[in-house]
Amino acid sequence: MIEAINAQSLACGSCHMCCKLPSLEELNKPADQWCVNCEVGVGCKQYNARPQACQAFECLWLHSQKPHIDPKLRFPADMRPDKCHVMLNKKADGKLFAHVSAERPDAWTKGKIGNWLRRENQARPVTIICNGKQFAMA
């Protein structure tokens, strides 16, 4: 069952985990550290001049909230990266990556996100990334 999501939460809201969890070569930003341009709770201080990688990025939670996505396939609010401590992204080649907060390294095994990742891993390999280290989900 998909829980109701209000209009404000259809955007990133206060979630800025894409500014923390992945590394970003263009800014020499290591994984699991806040970008120097991110004002936590507000957003990017350089939004209009942010790197191309940032402009092009969209996590799977945000993508799932788009109007053209079947409501049955939308991720619930508690799977938003700042709530579950896991940010999902899919590369153009279809590979799935789960960026996990080093503060909650087992978050990818818990709750709805853990269940979703286990199901998804049966269909295709999932790569877990935590604090810059990668490993294949078993």
pLDDT value at residue 123: 92
pLDDT value at residue 119: 96
Give the tens place of pLDDT for each residue, 88-125.
999 889 899 999 999 999 999 999 999 999 999 999 99
pLDDT value at residue 67: 92
Three-state DSSP state, 44: strand
pLDDT higher than 80, residue 9: no
Domain assignments of the chain as residue spans, ordered by start = 13-136
pLDDT value at residue 4: 37
Share of the chain above pLDDT 90, in %: 77
Q: What CA–CA distance (Å, rounded) separates 100 from 88?
A: 9
Give the pTM.
0.87
pLDDT value at residue 132: 79
Q: Indicate left, alpha or beta for 126 from its phi (over 0: left) and psi (-120 to 50: alpha).
A: beta
DSSP per-residue codes, 62-112: HHHTSTTS-GGGSPPGGGSHHHHSEEEEE-TT--EEEEE-TTSTTGGGSHH
DSSP 137: -
Give the tens place of pLDDT for each residue, 19-76.
999 999 989 999 999 999 999 988 899 989 999 999 999 999 999 999 999 999 999 9
Bridge partners, 98 (sequence order): 88, 128
